[in-house]
Amino acid sequence: MARTDIARRVYNHTWKLDPIVRSLLDTDFYKLLMLQMIWGMYPKVDATFSLINRTTSVRLADEIDEQELRDQLDHARTVRFSKKEMIWLAGNTFYGRKQIFEPEFLAWLADFRLPEYELHKRDGQYELEFPGPWMYTSMWEIPALAIINELRSRAAMKSFGPFALDVLYARAKAKMWAKTERLRALPDIRISDFGTRRRHSFLWQRWCVEALKEGIGDAFTGTSNVKLAMDTDLEALGTNAHELPMVLAALAKTDEELLRSPYKVLQDWQRYYGGNLLIVLPDAFGTASFLRDAPDWVADWTGFRPDSAPPIEGGERIIKWWRDRGKNPKDKLLIFSDGLDVDTIEETYRHFRGKVRMAFGWGTNLTNDFEDCAPTETDDLNAISLVCKVTEANGRPAVKLSDNPAKATGDKREIERYLKIFGEADARVEQPVFV
């Protein structure tokens, strides 16, 4: 019985590619929910997704080798849903509902592959774009981000010897476990993993998910990562994202239509999904204007996911809005998911406990917190604020305002036009975006 598996060792030392994305389920669950709606209602719409690095001080094109990036993107394009995955999607219960995906949609999905990409370097950054039909390009968001973030981690660790790597991961594990111990102290808290896009690596995300399972037990309600949900028998979680109102707004032909687009999205959504999937994401063009103009039926939805306002202030605004419409906030759900870490989770939990149901979608600081973990100091393992946003729909510019001007995306003049139409520019609070 050999101590060294010679075949494996030789394989490890001669391989060409360690694929980052090995499954099309290695994505966020909401992408599949949105995809079914896009496929059903907007199959002819084109939407371009573009990589946006908000941490401009990090020159991605200097850190990540272009050929390695192309190899990973090309590999992701070869991946298909496997039979096992298709059977699981068809047979699993999501949010308590069987057959959430229509057979026709699944039949189409069985042949799905990621479409082409366009990659250029400019000023030390990558210009990475995914043009084409929305129902294809939408699926690039998560794998593109996961690939770039993991390639960046790998580049940062290339010079590390085995001992440095050992210390790095030991410290990251110790740090992560200390977080679970703090969270365990909060009775009835509900936390889920939303960290796929920003993860240090797939294996590290999996470890963090296992740590939450072991560490906080039932308080860990699931993961947005469909593959991890399948592999570890967790709930797959997530509802909808900014791309829906952004595309519908871009397609609007009049200012009036633009103003109504955030509610049109909700109406579309409700045709497909109900119950706990009825979560409003109110901040695409500012939560204040969204609440001001919202039809009364929006108050019947299960909850809101404030995603760019400060959590306590943003949550209080929504609670007040519910009360004004005769709703009891205790029957309602707030899902917090913006730049959370244990401090903000604790603070938000303590503030809202007993006032409203709440859940925390924990992302970057769950799956990519390596600060002070490397044995020699480096910034290269710190997470950056990298997103992949829809920038164009049917040739028209797409825009996001958000509650935090630092998170706005899109053409400057178009942003100004949106600000005029939605108004309430002063209700938006500029905050630094760390992740």
**Cα→Cα distances 172→64, 192, 374, 381, 404, Å:** 23, 19, 9, 11, 30
Q: How far is the CB of 174 from a second copy (least distance, A)?
A: 4
Q: How far is the CB of 231 from a second copy (least distance, A)?
A: 15
Q: Closer CB to a second copy, residue 17 or residue 174?
A: 174
Closest Cα partner for 54 from 125, 131, 130? 125
Q: Closer CB to a second copy, residue 73 or residue 191?
A: 191
* H or E element in which residue 396 lies: strand 396-397
Q: How far is the CB of 415 from a second copy (least distance, A)?
A: 45
Classify the phi-psi angles of 2: left when phi > 0, otherwise alpha if psi is within -120 to 50, otherwise beta: beta
Q: How far is the CB of 216 from a second copy (least distance, A)?
A: 12
Q: Could you give the CA distance from residue 199 to residue 124 in angstroms, rounded to a whole number?
A: 22
Q: Closer CB to a second copy, residue 167 or residue 425?
A: 167
Q: Closer CB to a second copy, residue 1 or residue 185?
A: 1
- 394 neighbors 225 (Cβ within 8 angstroms): no
- Which residues contact residue 8 at a Cβ distance below 8 angstroms, ignoring those fewer than 6 apart? none
Q: Could you give the CA distance from residue 176 to residue 314 in angstroms, rounded to a whole number?
A: 27
Q: Closer CB to a second copy, residue 193 or residue 424?
A: 193
Q: Closer CB to a second copy, residue 1 or residue 91?
A: 1
Q: Closer CB to a second copy, residue 112 or residue 169?
A: 169
| Residue type present at position 272 | Y
220-223 vs 396-397, strand pairing mode: unpaired
- 101 neighbors 90 (Cβ within 8 angstroms): yes
State the sign of the Cα–Cα–Cα–Cα dihedral 145, 146, 151, 153.
positive
Q: How far is the CB of 368 from a second copy (least distance, A)?
A: 17
Q: How far is the CB of 11 from a second copy (least distance, A)?
A: 6
Q: Could you give the CA distance from residue 409 to residue 13 in angstroms, rounded to a whole number?
A: 42
The DSSP-derived string for 64-105 is S-HHHHHHHHHHHHH----HHHHHHHHHS-BTTBS--S-HHH
Q: Name the residues that contact a second copy, by CB under 8 A.
A: 1, 5, 7-8, 11, 161, 163-164, 166-167, 169-171, 173-175, 177, 210-211, 214-215, 375
Q: How far is the CB of 14 from a second copy (least distance, A)?
A: 12
Q: Closer CB to a second copy, residue 171 or residue 260?
A: 171
Q: Closer CB to a second copy, residue 54 or residue 175?
A: 175
- The SS3 assignment for 29 reads helix
Q: How far is the CB of 13 from a second copy (least distance, A)?
A: 13
Q: Could you tell me how far CA 362 lies from the centroid of its own chain?
A: 10
Q: How far is the CB of 178 from a second copy (least distance, A)?
A: 9
- Which residues contact residue 300 at a Cβ distance below 8 angstroms, ignoring those fewer than 6 apart? none
Q: Could you give the CA distance from residue 319 to residue 46 in angstroms, rounded to a whole number?
A: 37
Q: Closer CB to a second copy, residue 11 or residue 297?
A: 11
Q: How far is the CB of 211 from a second copy (least distance, A)?
A: 7
- Which residues contact residue 136 at a Cβ distance below 8 angstroms, ignoring those fewer than 6 apart? 112, 114, 115
